[in-house]
Amino acid sequence: MRAMENSTIAFIESLDQEGRGVAHVDGKTIFIDGALPSEQVTYKSHRRKSSYEVADVVEVLQPSNLRTTPKCPHFGYCGGCALQHLDFSGQVAAKQRLLEGNLWHIGKVKAETMLPPIYGPAWGYRHKARLRVRHVPKKGGVLVGFNEKASSFVAHMDSCEVLPPHVSALIVPLQHMIAQLSVRERLPQIEVAVGEQATVLVLRILEALRPEDGPILKAFADTHGVQIWTQTKGPDTVMPFYPLNGPALTYSLPEFQLTYPFKPTEFTQVNPHINRVMLRRAMQLLGAQPQDRIADFFCGLGNFTLPIARSGATVLGMEGSAALVARAVESASLNGLADQVEYREADLFKMTPEALQSLGYFDKWLIDPPRDGALELIKSLADVGRGEDGAMPVAPKVAGPERIVYVSCNPATLARDAGVLVNLKGYRLLAAGVINMFPHTSHVESIALFEKIQTPV
């Protein structure tokens, strides 16, 4: 493509995993922030390597028919969202294509069926968030918000369209309130957690509050109907400050008659609406039956474990966090499912064939790992090779489940693990599809169904 003054023209072919347009110019891959597929743009590079460049759009010469006006006035400056300039339906389609591309290029697999994407409300969906705080006198005082795009600086913002409206409305009052605190220079973060009956703000403070800070915090909590918690060091220092007897954080799954209590810094899905739809899809794919013994690996506080138990199946939930295991045990008891569920603390990133064998046989697995995926767990299933005649499979030492439902927050590691399951472990990738848990961001959640290939005895 030809150069235009100090910028270069390119045709955008696709989006990458960070929501940037991808083009190829003179044999190099160009990642262009702000560009969309099928657009012709001019760009200016700010990072150059031998095989690729990173650039920003200068001008859109031929816009995509899916380009739209961002709703948030801070888009492009705030780093919280990457895709508000792309129509919502286009965001979902782009994520589906990214998933399909990763499965093929990384795992060398292709789903037999692509599932309809799961999506829901586009705005006000984010019930968990970490807001940065910085006292910057040159910018008028205290800043509260997400980081600026590609920067460690806090964005100057007064609202956020992806936070629930009542949380977005707290940004400016928080700036004014924090400016009055003695610890304003030592308060780098606020963790927000929204439950069905409570909203909690956890202030990360690096030095003790002074007596004069208490009335300021209590007045803010009373005025805005929130709970103020503090965290001075690690997760075990998170504790309520005011009020001390406020309602607990909870979320529910009405379809399964389940209620989950959680602490504000414990992992829960950020999008409660999508979580409910995702649970329904997972249960449909898993097909849990009362006679089944099912493993829920990376179970967290039991988000999937308890709906599985509602089917009548017996479930073993395994998780690396002792705190989440304790919360899961509490939830099982609260929901009357303690007799059907067992929880164990285990580092699943260090799974071995021997450790997996010791757990016994499971009819089905549900896997919901963090971004690193579940490679060691999957590798612990024995390979299914072929005998000397090239026909009969070799019986595995660790019998794999007949069905695996894999929920992923990283399409690249899902694709890697899918390649192992399909190419080495004797499974078919029956179906896969995206879950738009984080609208307007490049984050891709997905779900996949694997079924064990039945072989002659």
Mind telling me the catalytic residues? 409
Query: Is 11 marked as a binding-site residue?
Result: no
Q: In 10 A of CB 376, how many CB atoms?
A: 16
DSSP 151: S
Was 303 annotated as part of a binding site? yes
Query: Tokens for 410?
Result: 């990283």
Strand partners, 129: 192
Q: Is 160 annotated in some ligand binding site?
A: yes
319 is in an annotated binding site: yes
Residue 330 annotated in ligand binding: no
Cβ-based neighbours of 301, under 8 Å, separated by 6 or more: 260, 262, 266, 267, 268, 324, 327, 328, 331
**Count of helices and strands (H, E) across the chain:** 10, 23
CA–CA distance, 230 with 201 (Å, rounded to integer): 8
According to DSSP, the β-strands at 403-408 and 364-367 are parallel
DSSP E strands, 275-371 = 293-297, 314-319, 341-345, 364-367
Q: Which amino acid belongs to residue 287?
A: G
**298 in a known ligand binding site:** yes
In this structure, are residues 102 and 418 in contact, taking their beta carbons and an 8 Å threshold?
no
Distance CA 308, CA 283 (A): 7
Q: Is 31 annotated as a binding residue?
A: no
Query: Is 368 known as a binding-site position?
Result: yes
> Does the annotation place 78 within a ligand binding site?
yes
202 neighbors 169 (Cβ within 8 angstroms): no
From the list 406, 418, 415, 409, the residue with the least C-alpha distance to 437 is 409
The per-residue b/e assignment along 292-308, b for 16 or more CB within 10 angstroms, e otherwise, is: bebbbbbbbbbbbbbbb
> 299 among the known binding-site residues?
no
Distance CA 365, CA 172 (A): 46
Nearest Cα neighbor of 444 from 15, 23, 107, 74 is: 15
Positions at the binding site: 72, 78, 81, 160, 269, 298, 303, 319, 347, 368
Positions at the binding site for S-adenosyl-L-methionine: 269, 298, 303, 319, 347, 368
Positions at the binding site for [4Fe-4S] cluster: 72, 78, 81, 160
